[in-house]
Amino acid sequence: MNATTPPPVLELTGIHKQFSGIPVLRDVQLRLYPGEIHALMGQNGAGKSTLIKVLTGVLEASGGKMRLGDQSVWPDSPRAAQRLGISTVYQEVNLCPNLSVAENIFAGRYPRLGLAQGFRIDWATLNRRARELVARIGLDIDVTRLLSDHPVAVQQLVAIARALSIESRVLILDEPTSSLDDDEVQKLFEVLRRLRDEGLAIVFVTHFLNQVYAISDRITVLRNGSWVGEWPVGELPAQALIAAMLGRELAAQSTEAPVPPVFDEAAPALLQAEGLGQSGQLQAVDLRVRAGEVVGLAGLLGAGRTELARLLFGLETPDRGVLRINGQTVAFSNPMDAIRHGLALCPEERKTDGIVAELSVRENIALALQARMGMGKFLSRAEQTTLAERYVKLLGIKTESVDKPIGLLSGGNQQKAILARWLAIEPRLLILDEPTRGIDVAAKQEIMEQILRLAQAGMAVLFISSEMSEVVRVAHRIVVLRDRRLVGELPAGSSEDAVYEMIAAEHV
C-alpha cells in the first residue's frame, strides 16, 4: 500500500483460535480497506469459516487483536457485529420465504407507529425503505411480494439488501455464487462493484478461480489455519495462488511419473455423457467411461466434481444433454433407476450420506441389495450375515462382529463397509466421491489397491479425490474440471503438476 492508501476499515492481527486445546487458527491476519473487494482463499479446512465466525462474533478468539477504524473491538455475538457495521451473507440464503421482501430486509427491526396507534408496524415506512435499498443495488422488484416468489439469484440480492440496511461498513459474502448461473453471477458482480465504488469493504469467499480474478482487488490466502500472505490480485497469477493454497510450488516438470495401470483401450464405452449439465450447477460435460477403466475426476473444491457424480447417479436431474449406458439412452429420475442400470455411488459425506450409524455393519452392507430387491422381498438375517462376513473378509474390515453398530468403527473401516454395500450389488460402474477422505494412511492404501483390483476385474470406476497424488496414481485418464466446467483431459502417467497447470491455465 502506498502513502495515499486510506487506513484499513477493519484489521485483524495475530488471531488465534483453539478447540479443546487444538489450534485451528494460528497468527492469522486480515486487512480490509474501504472501497475494495478482498478474496479470502484457501482449501477446505484452511480456516476461512472459522476466521469469519471470529470476525462476526459467532466464535470468540483465543488471542489476537481486532480494530475497526481507530477503535479496538471484539464482537461477542452476530448482533454485536452488526451493530459495528459488519454483515454477513451466507451461501444458503437464511431468510424467510413466507415473508415479503420488505419484511425479510427489516426482520426484527420493523419501524413502528407511535403510542396513539398502538405501536403497530409502520408498513408504509417499511416498504418505502425497502424499495430504497433494493433500488440501491439495482433491483427492480415489488417489495410487498413474498420472497418465495423470486428466484435464488434475487433472494441472494435481497440478503445483501438486508445486510446493507444496518449501514454496513464491512460486507462478508460466503460462497454467494454457488447456486447461480453465469448471467446471475454477472448481475451480482455489477452490484458488488457498485457497492465497492460507494466505499464498502467486501470480503469475497469462493472456490471459483475465474471469479476471484474477475471481481477481486486483493487476495489473502490461508492454509491449515495459518496466514500465508496477502497480494494485490494483479501480482498473484493463478498458478502462484494454487501453490500458496497447496503449500508447494508447481514444478515445470515432474520427475515422478506414476506407472499407469493395465487397461484395454479397445473396450467399449459403458457410460457416455454428451453435453450433460444443470443450470447453476454444472456446464455441459462430455464424459465416457469404459468397462475396466478408472477415470479420475480432478479439480479444486467447488470445481463441479460432486455435482457431476450426482447427475450421473440420479440424485439430481440434468436439464441438458444425453446419458447413455452401453449405448442405450437413459434418463434417471432417482438413484434406484441408476442402480437398476448397474451404477453405484459412494458419497462424499460418509457420516451424513453414507452410513446409518445406529445400524449394524451387517445391516449397512445389506442396504443397497435389499433396496434393489424391492419392498416385497427381504434378505433374511442369515443371508445378511453371510453377505456381510464375506465382504468383511474380502475388504479386511476390522470389526469384532458384523452386528456391531457401524458408527463405532473407524473412518477407514466405515468407508470399506460402504464400498462393500455397493460391491454386493455387483455394479458395472462404481462412482467413488472422496473415498479416502478422513481415513488413515494404511486404510487409504488398502482402498486404493481395491480400486485397482476392481478395474482389473472389469468394473468401470469414476474416481473423485482432492488428493491429486491418488488421482494420478490410479487413473487411466484424468478429466479436469474448473469452475463447474470440463477444461481438459490428461492421459495416464501425467504428473500432479500437469493437472494443477491445466486447472490454472486460463488465468496464467
**Model confidence over 339-398: pLDDT tens digits?**
889 898 888 776 667 778 888 999 999 888 887 777 667 888 999 999 999 888 887 788
pLDDT on residue 256: 43
Answer whether residue 124 shows pLDDT above 50. Answer: yes
pLDDT on residue 272: 94
Answer whether residue 91 shows pLDDT above 80. Answer: no
Pairing of strands 170-174, 201-205: parallel
42 CB contacts (<8 Å, ≥6 apart)? 48, 221, 222, 223, 228, 245
d(CA 125, CA 131): 10
d(CA 163, CA 273): 42
Q: Is 178 exposed, middle or buried (0-12, 13-18, 19+ CB in 10 A)?
A: middle
d(CA 76, CA 233): 32
Long-range contacts at 366-372 (CB < 8 A, ≥ 24 apart): 366/421, 366/424, 367/421, 368/339, 368/344, 368/421, 368/422, 368/424, 368/425, 369/421, 369/424, 369/425, 371/336, 371/339, 372/336, 372/339, 372/340, 372/425
Mean pLDDT confidence for 181-190: 82
Over residues 289-306, the pLDDT tens digits come to 999 999 999 988 778 898
Confidence of residue 39 (pLDDT cuts 50, 70, 90): very high
Cα separation of the two ends of the chain: 24
Alpha helices in 95-203 (DSSP H): 101-105, 123-136, 152-164, 182-197
Mean pLDDT confidence for 233-251: 81
Which segments of 291-405 are extended strands (E)? 294-298, 320-325, 328-330, 343-346
Number of H helices, E strands in the chain: 16, 20
Answer whether residue 161 shows pLDDT above 60. Answer: yes
Q: Which residue has the higher pLDDT, 412 or 343?
A: 343
Confidence of residue 414 (pLDDT cuts 50, 70, 90): confident
> Is this prediction's pTM over 0.85?
no
Answer whether residue 259 shows pLDDT above 60. Answer: no
Mean pLDDT confidence for 441-463: 80
Supply the angle between the helices 381-395 and 361-373 in degrees, to the nearest 10: 120
Mean pLDDT confidence for 139-165: 86
d(CA 431, CA 448): 14
Phi-psi region of 3 (alpha: psi -120 to 50; beta: other; left: phi over 0): alpha
pLDDT on residue 92: 65
Answer whether residue 508 shows pLDDT above 60. Answer: no
Mean pLDDT confidence for 27-37: 95
Of 467, 129, 138, 121, the closest CA to residue 305 belongs to 467
pLDDT on residue 176: 83
Q: Which residue has the higher pLDDT, 262 or 291?
A: 291
Instruction: Please report the domains of the chain, with CATH numbers, ordered by start residue.
Output: 26-246 (3.40.50.300), 269-507 (3.40.50.300)
Mean pLDDT confidence for 72-91: 88
pLDDT on residue 131: 92
Answer whether residue 45 shows pLDDT above 60. Answer: yes
Mean pLDDT confidence for 37-61: 88
Mean pLDDT confidence for 101-111: 86
All cell numbers assigned to 112: 413502528
All cell numbers assigned to 314: 440420479
Answer whether residue 409 shows pLDDT above 60. Answer: yes
> Is 215 in contact with 204 (CB distance < 8 Å)?
yes
Indicate the SS3 state at residue 285: strand
Amino acid making up residue 118: G
Mean pLDDT confidence for 262-288: 86
pLDDT on residue 320: 93
- The sign one gets for the Cα dihedral 248, 254, 259, 265 is positive
| φ, ψ (nearest 5 deg) of residue 192 | -65, -40
pLDDT on residue 2: 57
- Write down the mean pLDDT value for the chain: 85
d(CA 508, CA 505): 5
> What is the three-state SS of 314-334?
CCCCCCEEEEEECCEEECCCC
Answer whether residue 433 shows pLDDT above 60. Answer: yes
Please name every residue paired with 480 in a beta bridge, in sequence order, or none if there are none: 298, 488
Answer whether residue 227 shows pLDDT above 70. Answer: yes
Mean pLDDT confidence for 31-44: 91
All cell numbers assigned to 181: 448461473
Alpha helices in 13-87 (DSSP H): 48-55, 78-83
Answer whether residue 1 shows pLDDT above 60. Answer: no
Confidence of residue 257 (pLDDT cuts 50, 70, 90): very low
Mean pLDDT confidence for 196-225: 91
